Structure 1
Amino acid sequence: MIELRPFDSLGGANHGWLDAKHHFSFADYHDPSRVNWGNLRVWNDDTIAPKTGFPPHPHRDMEIITYVREGAITHEDDLGNKGRTEAGDVQVMSAGTGVRHSEYNLEDVTTRIFQIWIIPTRSGDAPAWGAKPFPKGERSGKFVTLASGYENDNDALPIRTDARIVAATLKAGETAEYPIGKDRKGYLVPATGAVTIGDIRVNARDGAAISDLDVLRVTAIEDSEIVLVDAA
């Protein structure tokens, strides 16, 4: 089953420095039919103005994945971590028992990110942070795992949950397959371009909620960059 969630149907709020769109209930936006998708709890599509950002604030017991679509985001936390993550790259913060962090766009250009929250499968661990570049050439025409809760995904950033975040860049006409399994929940968003899943067209920044599907087949209508969460 594929449930299309068009971009113009998303909740959100424009705070001036931040234009946020919410695929799931978040902050002042609440839709009882869009609270979570399996253990995927949040998918925010954030546009952050230059020289602005999220000031220090706390989190706990959440896996927070940031996929940078344009620009860059600079992270700093009370664990002593600091790093700049550029477009196409990923950072992961396991909030664990508690962490306080900031995320700023220190660039001269607008930064656009997907911020993804997944409910952890365990609690009580110390917080952790990591970031990694994922060259788009390495995921050309195929899905590559960016972050994973499984030990055999050695090249991926670790997360403490039964989930995997994968991405692909497809040229127009290319098809990529991902063996998701009928017992899993998938949520796919094109960062750019447009794709089809079966006979359903998914445009840039639309969401596609996927269930009861053995193998996901995605075909690009135009050059596309896609992100998928494989959730429990």
Structure 2
Amino acid sequence: MIELRPFASLGGADHGWLKAKHHFSFANYYDRDRSGWGTLLVWNDDTIAPQTGFSPHSHANMEIITYVRKGAITHQDNLGNRGRTEAGDVQVMSAGTGITHAEYNLEEGDTQIFQIWIHPKSRGKAPSWGAKPFPRGERSGRFVTLASGFEDETEALPIRTDARVLGATLKAGESTDYALDPARHAYLVPAAGKVRVNEVEVKARDGAAITGLDRITVTALEDAEVVLVDAA
């Protein structure tokens, strides 16, 4: 099954400094049919105005992955971590027993991010944060694992959950396959461009909720950048 969730159908909010669209129920947006997808709880599509951002706030027992689509995000937390993550790159935060952090756009233009929350396998671990560059060219024509809860995927940022986050860049006409366990839950969003997932056309920032399949073929109908979560 592939369920298309067009961008125009997503919930959201406009806070002035933050324009947010929610693929799943979040904050004041609630849709009982879109309250997570397996262990994937949140996929927010955020546009953050220059010199603004999320002031210090706390999380616990959640794996939070930030994929930067445009601009850059600057992170700081109460563990002493500070870092700037640029477009195409990824940061992860394992909230564990609790972490207080802030995320700012200190750039001259808008920053656009996907923020993805996944339930952890276990609770009560020590919090942590990390970031890593993933050059788009190294994902050309194929999926590359960006964050993973599987120990053998050592090139990816570690997360404490039975899931992986992948990215691919495809030129118009290129295709790539991804093998799935039919019992798992995949969610795919083009950060840019238009693709066909099997027989379903998915435009930029649309969501495709996938389950019950053992393989998908993603074909770029125009130059595209794709993010995929494979979750329990």
TM over 0.5: yes
In structure 1, give the amino acid aligned to 2:157: L
- The ranges of structure 1 where at least 4 consecutive aligned residues each deviate by more than 6 angstroms after the TM superposition are none
Distance 1:45 1:83 in 2: 21
Q: Would the aligned equivalents of 2:198 and 2:216 in 1 still touch at CA under 8 Å?
A: no
1:100-111 matches, within 5 Å, as 100-111=100-111
Deviates more, 1:25-34 or 1:173-182: 173-182
Aligned residue number for residue 115 of structure 2: 115
Q: How many residues are matched?
A: 232
Deviations 1:58-99 (A, max 9, x none): 000000000000000000000000000000000000000000
Aligned residue number for residue 198 of structure 1: 198
Aligned residue number for residue 143 of structure 1: 143
With normalisation by structure 1, the TM-score equals: 0.99
* CA apart distance, 1:204: 0.1
Distance 2:58 2:93 in 1: 12
Distance 1:8 1:127 in 2: 35
SS across alignment from 1:222: coil
Any stretches of 5+ residues in structure 2 without a counterpart?
A: none
Aligned residue number for residue 132 of structure 2: 132
In structure 2, give the amino acid aligned to 1:42: V
* CA apart distance, 1:119: 0.4
Aligned residue number for residue 25 of structure 2: 25
Q: Would the aligned equivalents of 2:71 and 2:109 in 1 still touch at CA under 8 Å?
A: yes
Distance 1:67 1:92 in 2: 9
* CA apart distance, 1:199: 1.8
Distance 1:71 1:175 in 2: 27
Aligned residue number for residue 9 of structure 1: 9
Distance 2:41 2:125 in 1: 20
> Sequence identity, in percent?
70
Q: CA RMSD in A?
A: 0.4
Distance 2:149 2:197 in 1: 26
With normalisation by structure 2, the TM-score equals: 0.99
Aligned residue number for residue 230 of structure 1: 230
Aligned residue number for residue 44 of structure 1: 44
Aligned residue number for residue 54 of structure 2: 54
Q: Would the aligned equivalents of 2:85 and 2:91 in 1 still touch at CA under 8 Å?
A: yes
In structure 2, give the amino acid aligned to 1:79: L
Deviations 1:114-149 (A, max 9, x none): 000000011111000000000011100000000000
Distance 1:75 1:182 in 2: 36
Aligned residue number for residue 63 of structure 1: 63
SS across alignment from 1:55: strand
Aligned residue number for residue 172 of structure 1: 172
Any stretches of 5+ residues in structure 1 without a counterpart?
A: none
Deviates more, 1:34-43 or 1:195-204: 195-204
Aligned residue number for residue 93 of structure 2: 93
SS across alignment from 1:33: helix
In structure 2, give the amino acid aligned to 1:11: G
